[in-house]
Structure 1
Amino acid sequence: MMSNGDGAAAKATNAAKSGAQAAKVAANFVPSKEDYQKVYNTIAEIMDDAGDYDDGSYGPVLLRLAWHSSGTYDAETKTGGSNFATMRFEPESLHGANNGLDVARNLMQKVKEQYPWISYGDLWTLAGVAAIQEMAGPVIPWRAGRVDGVAEQATPDGRLPDASQGGSHLRAIFGRMGFNDQEIVALSGAHALGRCHTDRSGFEGPWTFSPITLTNDYYKLLFDEKWVWRSWNGPKQLQDKKSRSLMMLPTDYVLTQDKSFKKHAKAYAEDQDLFFKDFSAVVVRLFELGVPSKQWVSEEPWTMKRVEEQSSN
């Protein structure tokens, strides 16, 4: 536990860093959009160099890093969020919800060594942008300007979703960040990507048949498949009755049971363009949680070009 003196010191340090960043912005003393595009390209290159890791891409774990470093925000106390990248520090790095994210942090450390001028918060969220865009998802407008915090600024455990819970838990967790039902359902669509691991969350398996391509299949499968509780030694999760190769978590299945959630999930199942539009908007908000507006290097967000788009040009 930190003393009041330590807390005051941490706040003073961060205030100084925030002020320094604001001064850089005011003086235009910041890297250019092209510099950040180079970082994006390096992340994309690393993402695809995954070999046998999971489904052949680091994309899903990089998106999870960006998500979990941003989703600690508390709108009431104005603490947490992507600004200070406090998952670098214990005990936050050891929180159960962050199990396995050392893989992503270590990958991004290599990028940080190549581009030492970028803050961890900017690096991690830019990695999330690259992951979504390079895995066939929508464009995610992004702004630079986050600063690196100190260990005393690490957030308490319990701010990220617990997959074993239900609708009231989701509303409490996401409501604390400032999100409504529609935005909760849109953010849940990130589960189209990646898979669960027994040595991390305890759960096991992918949500969709294409875990490294972002589609609206997550919502389609929720309604089109027959889901049954899996009989195994692990935590409570569902599996599809037909192939028994897919899984859903209790927090996923609640999207088909809760009247308000179901309305939005049905809409996304029927219209991928709508899902992409809403997903992009809510991810932009998620990645900017906790960052004072005076720190942004540009008033308008930037659009980073996909690697394929650059090569075609």
Structure 2
Amino acid sequence: MGAAMSDGCFAMFGPPDPRIRELQKCKEELKDFIQKRSCHPILLRLAWHDSGTYDQRLDNFPARGGATGSIRFDPEMNSAANAGMSKALDFLAKFAEKYPYVSWGDLIQLAAATAIECAGGPVIDMRYGRVAVGSEPEQQQQQQQQQVGVEAAARQLRMIFSEKLGFTDQEIVALAGARTIGRAFKERGGSCSFGYGDHSAGCGIAGGAAWTRNWLTFDNSYFTNHMDAMEDDDLLWLPMDASLQADAGFKPTFELYARDQAIFFRDYAKAHKKLSELGSKFEPAEGIKIQ
């Protein structure tokens, strides 16, 4: 018994889908690459920004934006919000060449989920099979984040993550916990006063500032050690971070994650999966799993 192959889709019966094996092999190579290059944070940032163009108020693919691989094209790649992101694309270019069955939409999201796992975070129940766009679609571009007060920061978070992307207050706080890894740089945005080379090299390039001391470890220290960040000039604690701790809609979840890392990991994994699928078109429609 066989099944007809729809245009652009793999048959239900017959030869195994070659994407499954390539995704599995690619993930294993990414693990080694990420650990050697300490590039967990920038790969996560790349995936978030690719997904972050999504607008739930638009219906059509790919104009609605989302996790489509469009970030690799101009003008999106050269927007102010994506400063420094070409480095992450350069990291992934050799994987795209070696694994041609893995779309750019899948590769970017696979790298981010793998980076979280390599940093000690949860294993995310990812879905693959994204159709990657072949050029930059006409869509609303991401705007550079601005320095704002605590109340304004909360409004801005909901404007972007709730009205545009479709996340709840709880999911917003869960996603913010990913700031436990990574650093900000003056050259990549206006939120950090430290630029390239302003600090000793350590892991990765020198400079920038982090929210946590162990910025390559994914845990709940963003929530538990916020007092350190508030009092230490070498650590970041921005109005957006303060709004999560102070706003009535965000604060209970912030405090919950400070008490219970397991719950944070559970909720983060769900929110990350949701973010990774925003705006995506899957072939087949249900996607494919590799775990």
Give me the whole-angstrom Cα distance separating, in 2, the residues matched to 1:298 and 1:156.
26
> Which residue is equivalent to 2:178?
190
> Which residue is equivalent to 1:71?
52
> Which residue is equivalent to 2:70?
86
Could you give the per-residue CA deviations for residues 219-239 of structure 1, whole angstroms, max 9, x where no partner exists?
1122x34xxxxxxxxxxxxx5
Q: What is the CA-CA distance between 1:152 and the residue it aligns to?
A: 4.2
1:250-269 alignment runs, 5 A limit: 250-269=239-258
> Which residue is equivalent to 1:128?
112
Q: What is the CA-CA distance between 1:75 and the residue it aligns to?
A: 0.9
Aligned Cα RMSD in Å?
Answer: 2.0
Secondary structure of the residue aligned to 2:188 is coil
1:39-78 alignment runs, 5 A limit: 39-50=26-37, 57-78=38-59
Give me the whole-angstrom Cα distance separating, in 1, the residues matched to 2:113 and 2:214.
19
Give me the whole-angstrom Cα distance separating, in 1, the residues matched to 2:17 and 2:147.
43
TM-score normalised by the chain length of structure 2: 0.83
Deviates further, 112-121 or 27-36: 27-36
Could you give the per-residue CA deviations for residues 261-306 of structure 1, whole angstroms, max 9, x where no partner exists?
111101101110000000000101110111235534646x443xxx
Cα distance change on mapping 1:123 and 1:293 into 2, 3 Å: closer
Give me the whole-angstrom Cα distance separating, in 2, the residues matched to 1:295 and 1:99.
34
Conserved in 2, the CA contact under 8 Å of 1:92 and 1:156?
A: no
Cα distance change on mapping 1:213 and 1:296 into 2, 3 Å: farther
TM-score normalised by the chain length of structure 1: 0.77
Conserved in 2, the CA contact under 8 Å of 1:146 and 1:296?
A: no
Conserved in 1, the CA contact under 8 Å of 2:116 and 2:218?
A: yes
> Which residue is equivalent to 1:112?
96
**Which structure carries more helix by proportion?**
1
User: Does 2:273 correspond to 1:287?
Assistant: no
Could you give the per-residue CA deviations for residues 196-246 of structure 1, whole angstroms, max 9, x where no partner exists?
011111314100011001010001122x34xxxxxxxxxxxxx532x4221
Give me the whole-angstrom Cα distance separating, in 2, the residues matched to 1:284 and 1:25.
26
Conserved in 1, the CA contact under 8 Å of 2:129 and 2:284?
A: yes
Cα distance change on mapping 1:171 and 1:190 into 2, 3 Å: same
**Aligned equivalent of 2:147, options 164, 167, 172:** 164
Give me the whole-angstrom Cα distance separating, in 1, the residues matched to 2:147 and 2:82.
15
User: Does 2:244 correspond to 1:240?
Assistant: no
Conserved in 1, the CA contact under 8 Å of 2:169 and 2:249?
A: yes
> Which residue is equivalent to 1:249?
238
Letter in structure 1 aligned against 2:166: G
Secondary structure of the residue aligned to 1:49 is helix
Give me the whole-angstrom Cα distance separating, in 2, the residues matched to 1:200 and 1:298.
34
Cα distance change on mapping 1:25 and 1:259 into 2, 3 Å: farther
* Residue ranges of structure 2 left out of the alignment (5+ in a row): 1-5, 195-208
Letter in structure 2 aligned against 1:141: D
Give me the whole-angstrom Cα distance separating, in 1, the residues matched to 2:171 and 2:119.
21
Q: State the percentage of identical aligned residues.
A: 35
Q: What is the CA-CA distance between 1:99 and the residue it aligns to?
A: 0.8
Q: What is the CA-CA distance between 1:124 and the residue it aligns to?
A: 0.3
* Residue ranges of structure 1 left out of the alignment (5+ in a row): 1-18, 51-56, 226-238, 304-313
